[in-house]
Amino acid sequence: MEQDPRNTASISPRSSKSAGGRFTGRRFAGGLVAAGLALLTVGGAAPAAQANDDAMIFPMTADSARYWRFLSDRVMGGVSDGNLEFVTIDGRAAARMTGDVSTRNNGGFIQFRAGVDFSALADNGSALRGMRIRARGNNETYYIHLRTRDTNRPWHYYSAAFTVDESWQHFTLPFAGFAHSAGLTPQTPSADRLVSIGIVAYGRDHAADIAVADISFF
């Protein structure tokens, strides 16, 4: 029986990792941008992600480790450092990013990121209204950074913040609540133009520790 394209989701790998599923800032500091990002292809046929009528869910299991890349400000001369591991916390699979964010040398971020493509959906994803993330961490504020075909400069992105505590929580982030980093138009992102998503510790000196169990779109 043919599947409804809105009810299928797949992920196509395009990344590398160090032994044990850990990604480190030092390993990827040079050449990450040239290497490209992983691609989450929403609407494909491979059963790499769970989906239903209400959301397309990408769980952060060990199998999904190769679809995400760790990136720090060291690619631009900063000194922030960290790593990304795919672990189990309280019986739940999760991607956990830890590290130290420093604003020295005009830096100030660590993140893990993947590319996104909604072109396999009948409407190219234009009907999607936002995303949800299930996360926990160290009582700090973190950010989702979205890049689209409209963010042509490396420092341009759409951003939304959320604050974690030590318990698992669902954060619902409508696309209308994202703001352009430079205040340019379009002022909010559209899913049919989305090209990447990043979970980011950013903007201030602090210790980062965030675990993400899954990301979904609705």
Q: Tens digit of pLDDT for each residue in 118-167?
A: 888 888 889 999 999 999 999 999 999 999 999 988 889 999 999 999 99
> What is the predicted pLDDT for the residue at 206?
98
> What is the predicted pLDDT for the residue at 95?
98
Best CATH choice for the domain 5-217 from the list 3.90.75.20, 1.10.10.10, 2.60.40.1930, 2.60.120.430? 2.60.120.430
**pLDDT class of 199 with cuts at 50, 70, 90:** very high
> What is the predicted pLDDT for the residue at 118?
86
In tens, the pLDDT along 32-91 reads 222 234 556 665 433 333 444 445 889 999 998 888 999 999 999 999 999 999 999 999
> What is the predicted pLDDT for the residue at 32?
24
pTM for the model stands at 0.79
Q: Which carries the bigger pLDDT value, residue 185 or residue 132?
A: 132
> What is the predicted pLDDT for the residue at 105?
96
Q: What is the DSSP string of the chain?
A: -PPPGGG--EEE------GGG-EEHHHHTTTHHHH---EEETT-SS-SSEE-SS-EEEE--GGGGGG-EEEEGGGGT---EEEEEEEEETTEEEEEEEEEE--GGG--EEEEEEEEE-TTSTTTTTT--EEEEEEEESS-EEEEEEEETT--STT--EEEEEE--SS-EEEEEEGGG-EETT-PSSSS--GGGEEEEEEEEESSSEEEEEEEEEEEE-
Domain ranges of the chain: 5-217
